[in-house]
Chains A and B, each alone.
Chain A
Amino acid sequence: MNAPGADSTPHLPRGVRLKHDKVRGEWLLLAPERVVKANAIAVAVLERCDGVRTLREIVDDLARTYSADRGVIESDVTMLINDLAMKRMVDL
């Protein structure tokens, strides 16, 4: 399995969804037999994973929106997406 490239278009496959859980007051990523807590950064990333935008565009957008260092954002986002792809929670 290759690490996600800048041109990949990450998206949540069917059967994986981001949900705001009212009972616990937090964002969760639901997948088969898995519940992963999503912090604010993960939510911002995953909301942009629509299968249309490329990883490069997602990083650009986040760097702009949060006026953050692009290099830092890129490595964080790539790590998150790679980790979720390994768990089959994100398709590239």
Chain B
Amino acid sequence: MRDKIAAPAGMLAELTHRCPLGCPYCSNPIELEKAAGELDTATWKRVLSEAAAAGVLHVHLSGGEPCVRRDIVELTAHCAEAGLYSNLITSGVGLTRDLFEALVAAGLDHIQLSIQDAEATSADRIAGYEGAFARKREVAAWTTAAGLPLTVNAVMHRANVSRAGRMVELAVLLGARRIEVAHTQYYGWAMVNRAALMPSREETETAVAEVEALRKKHEGRIVIDHVVPDYHARFPKACMNGWGRRTLNVTPSGRILPCHAAAMIPGLEFWSVMEHSLAEAWYDSPAFNIFRGTEWMKEPCRSCDRREIDFGGCRCQALALTGDARNADPICHLSPDHAIAQEIAAQQAPDVAPDYVYRRMKTKA
């Protein structure tokens, strides 16, 4: 079995769920891990070494806000020693000048900075943190001055969708080499805030066209990666490039997942870095093997000639919309449940958006 499975290429290391911001579109789970449940420094270092040995190339140091970990510099240096390409996915808040310099000296390869809107007031309201926007601009300036590649992460939803093009222009202005424009995917906190976040179909289509038009204009200056909502598509996306095919995810407490949303699928057995090596989990754990390849598929996927192209779409979406993770993703027009996806596509955004439920840790009453 092992020799048929390709080595993992990327790992999302969710170092912590702690975060000073409270973005309502956050895809972290509702039950956030507290600091006490986080893996310690020695364990993360071991996991990073195991990742390198297993063939992981890119490591995404993420969260929450990874910079709240006091060992973030040590972990970054460890990535460099292990030959891993390190990518810091940060909100920029909590990143001081000194810490930034230390990360650069430790060999950090790339910074991915979230920006909530092209306008300060709105950006800070979305983040639930006053002054966040100004801090982010500062971090962007440090990054480009240090010669580090900068990616801007822009998650689009009702409050900022009319400024999608301006987000791209802002990223160019900040000197970013790459921007990820991603329309909100409704997992975790984003699901709770769905009614407040969902833009109208017209707004979405205008935003998508605006960003696509800028691709040509800024070619060679900025790379635009565009994640558009798939409700109007005929075929689903190849979610995660296929289950257990390229990437894996380690949660703050050390659970090893095929994707960050996989924990929502009931009955999956996830292994922990405390009991297994990363390679063991990748090749042998039930959670990775259950949807690997095409054996698990039902019809219409099983006999479909696209089964090795989109792998039947997203397991989590299939579960959420059809009640069975083994079904074809209902985005697919061949799915017997396609009507469900069409219904969602036809849904209207409410006239007045409800207030946000900001992402916060539960405090004990």
Contact = CB atoms under 8 A, between A and B. Distances in A.
A80 to B, nearest CB: 15
B204 to A, nearest CB: 24
B98 interface: no
A35 B178 contact: no
Main secondary structure of the interface of B (DSSP, over half): loop
* Residue of A1, A15, A23, A35 ringed by the most chain B CB atoms within 10 A: A15
Given A21-B57, A33-B225, A35-B57, A14 B85 contact: no
B58 A88 contact: no
Contacts of B146: 14
A31 B58 CA distance: 9
A4 to B, nearest CB: 11
B149 A16 contact: yes
A45 B87 CA distance: 26
Interface residues of A, number: 20
A35 to B, nearest CB: 6
Interface string A26-54: 00101111010000000000000000000
A1 B220 CA distance: 6
Counting chain B residues whose Cβ lies within 8 A of the other chain, the interface size class is 20 to 34
Main secondary structure of the interface of A (DSSP, over half): loop
A24 B55 contact: yes
B286 interface: no
Interface in B24-59: 53-55, 57-58
B109 interface: yes
A18 to B, nearest CB: 12
B54 A15 contact: no
Nearest to A23: B55
A86 B351 CA distance: 42
B148 interface: yes
A33 B55 contact: no
Interface of B: 7, 9, 53-55, 57-58, 83, 85, 87, 109-110, 112, 146-149, 151, 177-178, 219-223, 225
